[in-house]
Amino acid sequence: MDKVLELRGVSKSFPGVKALSDVRFDLKPGEVHALMGENGAGKSTFIKIITGVHQPDSGEIFIAGSPVSIKTPLDAQALGVAAVYQHVTCFPDLTVAENIFMGHEKTARSGRIDWKAMNSEADNLLLQLDAKFDSRAEMGRLSVAKQQIVEIAKALSANAKIIIMDEPTAALSRRECEELYRIIFGLKEKGVSVIFISHRFEDVYRLSDRITVFRDGKYINTWKKEEVSENDLVVAMVGREIVQFFPKRDVAAGEEVFRAEGLGRAGFFRDVSFSVKCGEIVALTGLVGAGRTEVCDAIYGVTSYDAGSISLDGKKLPHLTPVKAIDAGIGLLPEDRHKQGLLLRWEISKNISLPFLKKYTNYSMVDTKKEDAQAGEVAGKLKVKATSVHDKVSTLSGGNQQKVVVAKLLGGNMKLIIMDEPTKGVDVGAKVAIYEVMNDLVKSGYGIIMISSEMPEVLGMSDRVVVMREGRVTATFNTKEADQTMILKAAMQDTGAA
């Protein structure tokens, strides 16, 4: 058998959008085939067609050389196709075993669920993946990485021969990524084929045998990974050469706009001090668990702090709530856009206007024309791909959803903007668009705190770097005088904390 999966001339349209146009793709036994493309390139539609969520308007699908019609997710499961998503869809209050066998539970002759057999087989599946947790554990208490392992075990329980992984490393730490790599190599050895979708070049070059690029819903090319460079892939994805990945503009820093002095929260961080000037990007970086997000959540009022103080424009601020932070001129782009940044069932315009709704309100009525005009202006500036500002955010690709979260920050009179992993899970073109917005913001006098785990991004887009470890600041560098080695050394430095 030469190909376990093949798509020929597949097209799919939605009202006003040609999602896929005459695309082709094939997958070999025991192969990891990476699929890359900008957000909106058609990758999500491609997945949904293979998994039976959508049906193609035209084209053919072959599995193991035979033509198939995949009309429902159950059809896909019966054909040995499964998907593991970046945002795991699970039943958090049920056990691992219950999640693994959901829809195909083990039953005794009486028709009742055979809990002993189900838990035992679930443990065997976890053992195959070298997982260090029990099948009776509650799913919602597991980390994202462990939940993804459960999803892989679920696929194996249904005898999946083709597993689609959609941005599986986007929310994982470096150590967790290495664990996932090990599992994928193990799947290859068992003859399982993997379609791996990622924006991260490290993932693609570590794992894949071949790489295919889609752009604007069209097939561009397929290469063996050793035949194509990162720059070639970028050109293929965006249709042009990006001369500068990190287009940081030099802006003369002004007066100090923000200062944190001795901030502490018992059990999370301690004695954290740093400042931000107008027209400056200060990066907070460090290894997973360093406390970066916890500090910024406390500043913004998502949580609180029990020691130290914060000041804006030289004036000490009381403990804030998110509403009071916005009124004071502090905005936050959260790390988890789905849980904290967006109302997915709402329109683009309503999401963008929500933090500053008073601006669009006359006598308790929202001026929808003004709301739509403002939303259209900032969405256009960020090149959000949508048919109109009335599209629901849930219909957008992940990168375009992130752009909407960024757009929300541009509607008010902010002085300090906190961006927690602003480019996580977005493609190269979308990253550059977000970087350009950051440039425009600092040029206009905003101060920016950028939390980032990507060292090239930290060095490429910040003016100063504040390094944290175990809730403490270990070093602060002028970016022009720093390199990755210096920052990593500071991130691993012993803080001396008890």
* Sheet of strand 330-333: strand arrangement: 330-333, 416-420, 447-451, 281-286, 464-469, 472-478
Distances (CA, A) of 359 to 18, 198, 294, 388, 416: 36, 39, 30, 21, 19
- In this predicted structure, what is the pLDDT of residue 22? 94
pLDDT of 288 above 60: yes
Residues 13-17, mean pLDDT to the nearest whole number: 81
pLDDT in tens, 145-200: 788 888 888 888 888 999 999 888 876 777 778 888 988 998 899 899 999 998 88
The pLDDT, as a whole number, for residue 243 is: 53
Q: What is the pTM of this model?
A: 0.63
pLDDT category, 498, cuts 50, 70, 90? very low
Q: What is the spatial distance between Cα 274 and Cα 372, in angstroms, rounded to a whole number?
A: 38
More confident residue, 206 or 383: 206
Residues whose CB falls within 8 Å of the CB of residue 89, separated by 6 or more in sequence, listed in order: none
Using a pLDDT cut of 90, give the percent of the chain over it: 44
With H, G, I as helix, E, B as strand and everything else as coil, classify residue 284.
strand
DSSP state of 340: I
Q: Give percent of the chain above pLDDT 70.
A: 96
At residue 302, the pLDDT reads 92
Tell me, what's the pLDDT at 242? 56
Other beta carbons within 10 Å of 37: 27
Length reported for the chain: 498
Residue 297: what residue type? D
Query: What is the reported pLDDT for 406?
Result: 82
Identify the burial level of 189 via C-beta atoms within 10 angstroms of its C-beta, where 0-12 means exposed, 13-18 middle and 19 or more buried: exposed
Q: Is the pLDDT of residue 308 over 60?
A: yes
> For residue 121, what pLDDT is reported?
92
pLDDT at residue 212 in the model: 96
pLDDT given for residue 38 in this prediction: 76
Specify the residue for token string 């349209």.
13
Minimum mean pLDDT range among 82-86, 159-163, 349-353: 82-86
Q: Decide: 448 and 438 in contact? Cβ < 8 Å.
A: yes
Position 245 pLDDT exceeds 70: no
Side chain identity at residue 386, one-letter code: A
Q: How far apart are CA 165 and CA 163, in angstroms?
A: 6
Work out the pLDDT band at 271, boundaries 50, 70, 90.
very high
Secondary structure (3-state) at 388 = coil
24-38, 89-103, 140-154, 399-413: the lowest-pLDDT one: 399-413
Arithmetic mean of pLDDT over the chain: 87
Per-residue pLDDT band at 277 (split at 50, 70, 90): very high
Q: Is the pLDDT of residue 494 over 70?
A: no
Tokens coding 175: 């150590």
Whether 333 and 418 have beta carbons less than 8 Å apart is answered as: yes
Pinpoint the alpha helices (H) of 159-261. Answer: 174-189, 201-207, 230-238
Q: What is the mean pLDDT of residues 280-301?
A: 90
Q: Of 20-29, 163-172, 356-365, which one has max mean pLDDT?
A: 20-29
Query: Per-residue pLDDT for 73 more than 80?
Result: yes
Q: Is there a contact between 325 and 273 (Cβ–Cβ < 8 Å)?
A: no
> Which residues have C-beta within 8 Å of that of residue 110, sequence separation ≥ 6?
none
- Residue 257: pLDDT band (50, 70, 90) is very high
pLDDT the model gives residue 497 = 47
From 288, 305, 377, 388, select the one nearest 348 (Cα to Cα): 388
